Homo-oligomer: A and B are copies of this chain.
Amino acid sequence: MEIKSIQTKKIYKNIVEQIIFLIREGSLKSGDKLPPERTLAEMLDVSRASLREALSVMEIMGIVDIRPGEGSFVSDLDVLPFISLVLPLLLKEGSFEDDLIEFRRLIEIAGIKLVCKNVDKNSEMLEELKDTIVQMEENLDDAETGARLDIKFHRILFSMGNNIVLVKVLEYLGFILERTVKFNRNSILSKGDSANMLLKHHTDIYDAIVSKDENAATKAMEAHFDFVGSKLL
């Protein structure tokens, strides 16, 4: 006799998948309000408990925003809730900061080539880059603002690669990245006249991109990270 398995998958997973399907399909858009738990549970023909397990998961995944007293809302995929939970576990595994800086160096140097290839498609972002540099010039003394602009500069750079995977990966790392960038700048700025040096690096990178010179851009980025690395030791 042959018996086929009917339905072993947990209910909450089915719910999550169904919601994700609706988001993907377009029936649910960012900002949309989900029905109240009681109603939605009835619609799905499941208990509130199961639904709430699904909602908790989706909250951590960053696809729904649950506001007590108001309701649950579909949100743009926000990676922070998940990352901030997982981060401590990743940090557990030995020296992490060094690897992160190394990885960042790796990916930014590799990515800059991509950026050069796509300059023409991103003229308005080029403007933003220029603006950021100008602002850097005007805020050489303000370490806090400098750090913020530094982060902004690199973020714009990433998006100019026109590669969604690159952007997503760095978005996921962004949270951690920001901390290290700030940390880097702080320990760098404490040593001598580094603010001007960092400004020069960013300017060099910008110029190389404008002239679509891959080699120059790569060299400028390498120089940037060499400098940062040397100051950290």
Contact = CB atoms under 8 A, between A and B. Distances in A.
Contacts of A99: 163-166
Interface string A1-31: 0000000000010001100110110000000
Contact of A102 (B54, B60, B61, B114): B114
Interface residues of A, number: 46
A175 interface: no
A100 B20 contact: no
Contact of A89 (B77, B90, B92): B77
Contact of A165 (B12, B20, B77, B96): B96
A52 interface: yes
A140 interface: no
A214 interface: no
A20 B106 contact: no
B102 A163 contact: yes
A148 to B, nearest CB: 23
Contacts of A77: 86, 89-90
A69 to B, nearest CB: 12
Contacts of A56: 12, 53-54, 56-57
A192 interface: no
A94 B24 contact: no
Contacts of A174: none
Nearest to A111: B106
A63 interface: yes
Contacts of A24: 88-89, 91-92
A96 B90 CA distance: 27
Contacts of A233: none
A93 interface: yes
Interface in A139-163: 163
Contacts of A125: none
Contacts of A21: 88
Give me the 8 closest cross-chain CB pairs, A-B, nearest first: A110-B110, A103-B165, A53-B56, A99-B165, A106-B110, A99-B163, A99-B164, A24-B92
5 contacts: A23-B92, A90-B168, A103-B166, A106-B166, A109-B110
